Amino acid sequence: MNKKNPSCFTEENTDEPLKGMAYIPEGEFLMGTEIKKGCSNDKEGPVRNVNMKPFYIDKTTVSNKEFTRFIKDTNYVTDAEKYGWSFVFYKFLTKKQINQSTNLNGVSWWYAVKKANWRQPEGEKSNINKRLNHPVVHISWNDAIEFCKWAQKRLPTEAEWEYAARGGLKQKKYPWGNELTPNGVHYCNIWQGDFPSLNTKRDGYIGTAPVDSYFPNGYGLFNVSGNVWEWCSNKFEENAKITSDNYNQATRAIRGGSYLCHHSYCNRYRIAARSFNTEDSSTGNMGFRCVRDI
């Protein structure tokens, strides 16, 4: 089931740079989690009290339509376009593409596909014509930074992202509470079925969903759980307080999980969950949203 609630619990901004953004008030919140179902290697805890200043954040992730405007204005070339390939989930590929692509070591469902990028999410001959309101994907951290400069915004810190994603709720697993599917209703786009072989599409989508799908949280934000991973500004190590021996210094934090997340291997669609990727990496489930200072 795919539902959308048009009402938001935030002020509607008329200023053009703030259009489509939600106002997040100052306050404090409990960041992180110590639940057993968390991913201990990701250093989600300890739970700590964080004081926040007010800011604005996009209600949705950046869409293909918005990113197209950016490209037309700047002629920017993304990292995936420069490298000539990006990672695509195997279920979206033809047998010919799989035979011609390189499999990611240790992860059987990811293939490095030639000419896969934001314009061609599944490689050559694919397009975004019918996905303009879907999140732009195959976006590296470097690409997201350039978009933010153009839009006069910036990427959120992990603290800003989690504070806004919680929508005013205290220490809940998801933006809507602790139950994944209240009354059998799906509130986010994640993997349904047996990963990675069978997706039943019970939440309405196999790949990305439109950026304004499902119900918004208490601050009016859509899809902060599932759909696409979202880049944050800070390095992954900073909040985790771990050494560079464990993680590459070039890694940046990502939040929210994606349409490929499943409880059997990656339950990172929880609000406190976190992961990372290198600054120039791109995949078919990687996007972003922006923030703006008051």
**Is omega for the bond preceding 46 within 30 degrees of 0, making it cis?**
yes
Convert the pLDDT of each residue in 4-57 to its tens digit: 443 333 444 446 778 899 999 999 999 999 887 766 677 888 999 999 999 999
- CA separation, residue 89 to residues 84, 98, 250, 280 (Å): 17, 10, 24, 18
- CA separation, residue 88 to residues 127, 137, 279 (Å): 14, 10, 18
Whether residue 148 contacts residue 290, with contact meaning beta carbons closer than 8 Å, is answered with yes
Q: How confident is the model at residue 60 (pLDDT cuts 50, 70, 90)?
A: very high
> Which domains are seen in the chain, by residue range?
16-61+133-293 (3.90.1580.10)
Amino acid identity at 217 = N
Convert the pLDDT of each residue in 151-172 to its tens digit: 999 999 999 999 999 999 999 9
The pTM is what?
0.90
Higher per-residue confidence, 240 vs 153: 153
pLDDT at 238: 52
pLDDT at 40: 66
- The C-alpha atoms of residue 111 and residue 97 are separated, in whole angstroms, by 9
